[in-house]
Structure 1
C-alpha cells in the first residue's frame, strides 16, 4: 500500500516543525522523524490506526504520535495522510474537518 501526504497534512507537519524548532531544532527534527516513521508503518498495516471518534466513516483512521493526531483515509490503493493536529484540538463543530480537505 502506498502512503501519500495531502498538501494540507504536509503543511501541518511543516508548521509544527517550524514551531518546535523555535525552542529546539533537534526536537523538531526528532518529532518529524517520529511522525514519518508512524506513517510508514501504514504501508504494511494500514488498518492499525484507531477509528477517528468524530467521524462516522470506517475508512477514516488516526495514529497518535507524541500527543498529535495523524489522521488518514484508507483508499483502494493508498493511505492518504489528511492532517496532523494536536490531540487536544477537537474537530467536532469545525466547518472544514480534516477529512473534508484535500
Structure 2
C-alpha cells in the first residue's frame, strides 16, 4: 500500500498552518508536521481507523490525531487522505467530497 494525499487534504494542512501560524508559529509547525506523518502508521495497519458505514460501498475511515480528525479511503491498494480538521470545527464531509 501507499499513501496519497488529495488536494483537499493538502489544502487542509495549509489552512491549518495559516490559522495557527500567526498566533503560535512553533506550535503550528509542530501540529502540521505531526498530522502530515500520522498516516504513516496506516501503511502497517490500514484498517485501524473507524469505518464510516454511511459511505458504503466506499471504504472510508477516520482516525483521531490529538484534537484533529483525519478521514481516509482505502481503494485499489492506496490509502487516500481525504480531509482533516480540528474536532471543534463544524464540518459537513458529504458536501466537501
TM tier relative to shorter chain? 0.7 to 0.9
CA contact (8 A) 2:6 2:82 kept: yes
> In the alignment, does 2:42 pair up with 1:42?
yes
Partners of 1:38 and 1:62 lie apart in 2 by 12
Displacement of 1:90 after TM fit?
4.2
1:24 positional shift = 1.2
Counterpart of 2:95 in structure 1 is: 96
Matched residue, 1:52: 52
CA apart distance, 1:95 = 5.9
Q: Which residue of 2 aligns with 1:7?
A: 7
Report what 1:64 is aligned to.
Answer: 64
Unaligned stretches of 5+ residues in structure 1: none
Q: Structure 2: how far apart are the matches of 1:49 and 1:96?
A: 22
Q: Which runs of 5+ in 2 are unaligned?
A: none
RMSD of equivalent CA atoms: 1.8
> Aligned partners of 1:42 and 1:23: how far apart in 2?
31
In structure 2, the partner of 1:75 is 75
Q: Calculate the TM-score normalised by the size of structure 1.
A: 0.81
